């Protein structure tokens, strides 16, 4: 397995950055809890990006120290600028003057792992003894930190080997207990149009906790108004991905930020409507995988009624679904229909009923109260609403829209409202056999609108 790890380290120089993102999106961090990392040796997955983010949030970090052979590890406080000394096995550790701490989360290196939480270490048994001791004394979360290439189907484990609660890689967050509880059900959330800094800040700050609290497997966010109300930028994409979004959709404002439209070709997780001209940058659908390796197809199309002229969205959807059967090639199918007319959105929902897990309407920025499961099993809502300040005119500061309605004359630029944002979206659970929806609920939190949380 060392060869696989060396190859992965060379092929994925950015793996540690993405693994750190997955850590914050997935692992429940107790308030005030100490997180123990490790100082990487050779080609172990680097913990420095994770440490940097922990320090940014003023969390306590410790590093392990081998105190004696065949004894549990000791954890000493580590902060930026602290002196480090050589450890027993060539690793760097805090010196003897650093305070001893008791970690709530222990992040471990490894040679190999499996999806049942099995961990193959280096043969010394230090982490197994340490986890056994801390689990006997109280609660501790064991997190394996690795490259995806280190996953194997089976491991030669003994009764004293301690299982991991989580395994984090650059592409996945695997939870041993989560797997046992939920089987193949996929829990999906889709969030409506982010409008300006207020909406963007709210999503970035709250999405990691929503992902943890609601045990979300896959998250789609519509980001078409995230950059000052018009379009999206590479930096904003990275912020939203770091917060836990798996896919970003857009709409008629997709290309408003013209300085870097090429982001749609560079970033496969950023979609534009599939019924845009085929020569346009980017694509309108893609098959993704959640942390459990389940296939999630996301399709993005734009409506015709009240929008600029565009190809038939129904024909585009049918092309994207050709050869993909829900429950066979795809474990879930999500459709973001960016459209103005309620009738066109409802028609699309019925057109896809039984072929998609979820059809959501976006674009109008006002949440509708019709979240439901249609006759043949597809979850549907006419419009998710926006993630933005609702003390506004659909996300924009009130004075300019009011001026134009009253005087019929422009007075200035539209600017996003800057007050407290409400995050609006929808959450579904899929049937593990068919991929169709078995539960659906609107989700609203923060800001002015009434709080709505799923009860499943």
Task: Give 194: exposed, middle or buried? Use CB within 10 Å, 0-12, 13-18, 19+.
Answer: buried
Residue burial 296-309, b: 16+ Cβ < 10 Å; e: rest? bbbbbbbbbeebee
Give yes or no: 350 in active site.
Answer: no
The dihedral over CA atoms of 166, 172, 177, 181, expressed in degrees to the nearest 10, equals: 170
**Closest CA relative to residue 253, chosen from 265, 239, 264:** 264
Name residue 187's beta-bridge partners.
429
User: Can you state the angle between helices 234-243 and 15-26, rounded to 10 degrees?
Assistant: 50
**Exactly one of 253, 338, 363, 365 is catalytic; which is it?**
253
DSSP state letter for 59 = -
Say which residue the tokens 């394996």 belong to. 144
Residue pair 228/317 in contact by the 8 Å Cβ criterion? no
Residue pair 208/370 in contact by the 8 Å Cβ criterion? no
Name residue 296's beta-bridge partners.
288, 332
Q: What is the bridge-based pairing of β-strands 61-65 and 35-36?
A: parallel
Residue pair 365/395 in contact by the 8 Å Cβ criterion? yes
Residue burial 14-41, b: 16+ Cβ < 10 Å; e: rest? ebbbbbbbbbbbbbebeeebbbbbbbbe
Concatenating the DSSP letter of every residue in 217-283 gives: SEEEEE-TBTTTTS---HHHHHHHHHHT-SEEE--TTTT--GGGTTHHHH-TTB---TTS-TTSSS-
**Closest CA relative to residue 359, chosen from 379, 331, 373, 340:** 379
Concatenating the DSSP letter of every residue in 74-119 gives: EEEEE-TT--EEE-TTS-EEE-TTSPB---SEEEE--SEE-TTS-E
Q: What is the bridge-based pairing of β-strands 187-191 and 218-222?
A: parallel
CA 68, CA 343: separation in Å to the nearest integer?
71
**Closest CA relative to residue 344, chosen from 332, 329, 362:** 362
| Helices (H), ranges, 408-453 | none
Q: Which residues are catalytic?
A: 253
């Amino acid at each position: 397995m060392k060869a696989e790890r060396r190859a992965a380290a060379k092929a994925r120089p950015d793996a540690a950055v993405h693994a750190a993102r997955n850590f914050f999106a997935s692992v429940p961090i107790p308030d005030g809890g100490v997180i123990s990392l490790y100082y990487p040796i050779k080609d172990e997955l680097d913990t420095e990006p994770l440490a940097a983010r922990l320090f940014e949030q003023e969390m306590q970090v410790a590093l392990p120290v081998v105190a004696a052979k065949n004894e549990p590890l000791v954890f000493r406080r580590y902060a930026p600028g602290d002196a480090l000394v050589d450890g027993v096995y060539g690793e760097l550790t805090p010196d003897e003057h650093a305070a001893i701490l008791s970690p709530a989360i222990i992040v471990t290196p490894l040679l190999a792992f499996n999806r049942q939480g099995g961990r193959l270490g280096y043969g010394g048994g230090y982490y197994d003894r340490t986890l056994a001791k801390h689990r006997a004394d109280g609660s501790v979360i064991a997190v394996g930190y690795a490259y995806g290439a280190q996953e194997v189907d089976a491991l030669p484990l003994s009764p004293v080997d301690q299982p991991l609660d989580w395994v984090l890689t650059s592409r996945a967050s695997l939870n041993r207990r989560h797997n046992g509880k939920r089987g193949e059900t996929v829990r999906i959330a889709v969030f409506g149009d982010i409008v300006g800094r207020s909406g963007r800040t709210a999503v970035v700050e709250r999405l990691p906790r929503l992902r943890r609290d609601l045990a979300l497997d896959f998250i789609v966010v519509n980001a078409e108004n995230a950059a000052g109300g018009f379009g999206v930028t590479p930096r904003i994409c990275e912020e939203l991905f770091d917060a836990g979004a798996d896919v970003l959709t857009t709409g008629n404002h997709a290309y408003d930020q013209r300085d870097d439209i090429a982001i749609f070709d560079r970033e496969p997780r950023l979609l534009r409507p599939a019924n845009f001209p085929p020569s346009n940058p980017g694509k309108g659908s893609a098959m993704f995988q959640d942390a459990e390796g389940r296939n999630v197809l996301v399709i993005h199309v734009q409506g015709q009624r009240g929008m600029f002229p565009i190809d038939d969205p129904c024909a585009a959807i049918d092309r994207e679904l050709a050869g993909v059967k829900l429950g066979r090639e795809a474990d879930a199918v999500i459709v973001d229909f960016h459209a103005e007319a309620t009738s066109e959105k409802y028609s699309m929902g019925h057109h896809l009923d039984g072929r998609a897990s979820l059809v959501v309407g976006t674009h109008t920025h006002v949440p509708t109260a019709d979240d439901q499961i249609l006759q043949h099993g597809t979850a549907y809502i006419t419009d998710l609403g926006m993630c933005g300040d609702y003390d506004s005119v659909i996300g924009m500061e009130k004075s300019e829209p009011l001026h134009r309605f009253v005087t019929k004359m422009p007075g200035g630029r539209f600017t996003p409202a800057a007050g407290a944002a409400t995050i609006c979206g929808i959450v579904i659970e899929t049937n593990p056999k068919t991929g169709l929806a078995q539960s659906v609920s609107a989700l609203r939190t923060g800001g002015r609108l009434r709080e709505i949380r799923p009860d499943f």
